[in-house]
A = this chain, B = another copy of it.
Amino acid sequence: MADRITRADIVEVAVSLLAAGGLHALAMRRIAGELGVQQSALYWHFENKQQLLAAVAERIVAPVDPPDLGADQAPWSQQILTLGTRLRAALLAYPDGAELVATMLAFRLGAQRPVQQITDVLVNAGFAPTEAEVAASVLVHFVLGYTTDEQQHRQAAAIGAIEHDDHATASADERFARGLDLIVAGMTSARS
């Protein structure tokens, strides 16, 4: 009613809807409703829903800080573990966060920064560019896939389709950490 709508407003509402109800709640009609505007109004600011989702995905992975590339940096293996852990934490901050980012990444729509950061760390550690890209994709696919699984399972438990298993949830962190370790070990022997 009051003012005009901006791209940032739309993304902000979209993020809050995602936080509240997951990907299911992220409908153009609902976003428009929340902004007090017609659904067609959104299409002046975004070409389509995918572009909007790309912006949301970007926001999700934004808090993943780049590691120090300066003098006093941790060993590369430690940097990789940190990046992987931070990425997972960022994805877990929103329901369906992992699925959303994975989809956007497959379409090459934003959210590419974490992949680039990981690749940079590896190149900086002496990996050949192609080898660094391959290693980064192994890591990213594991983080996204594992976290998607985790969130989807958690959601199914919340609906009551599955009994909530505290034991399994507790060990999710450790299984993830072990997966990361395996990949870092693989990277170590891949370095020329």
Contacts and interface: CB of A to CB of B under 8 A. Distances in A.
Interface of A: 102, 105-108, 130-131, 133-135, 137-138, 140-142, 144-146, 148-149, 152-153, 156, 162, 175, 178-179, 181-190
A183 B181 contact: no
Contacts of A146: 137, 141
Contacts of A182: 134-135, 138, 183, 186-187, 189-190
A106 B190 contact: no
- The number of times this chain is found in the oligomer is 2
Nearest to A180: B138
Given A106-B152, A145-B144, A149-B105, A137 B175 contact: yes
A107 B186 CA distance: 29
Nearest to A107: B152
Name A's interface SS. Answer: helix
Nearest to A131: B178
30 contacts: A105-B149, A106-B148, A106-B152, A107-B152, A107-B156, A108-B162, A130-B178, A134-B178, A134-B179, A135-B182, A137-B142, A137-B145, A137-B146, A138-B142, A138-B182, A141-B142, A141-B145, A141-B149, A142-B145, A144-B145, A182-B183, A182-B187, A182-B189, A183-B183, A184-B186, A185-B186, A185-B189, A185-B190, A186-B186, A189-B189
Contacts of A140: 145
Contacts of A148: 102, 106
Contacts of A186: 182-187, 189
Given A105-B149, A138-B142, A141-B145, A181 B190 contact: yes
A23 B108 CA distance: 19
Nearest to A106: B152
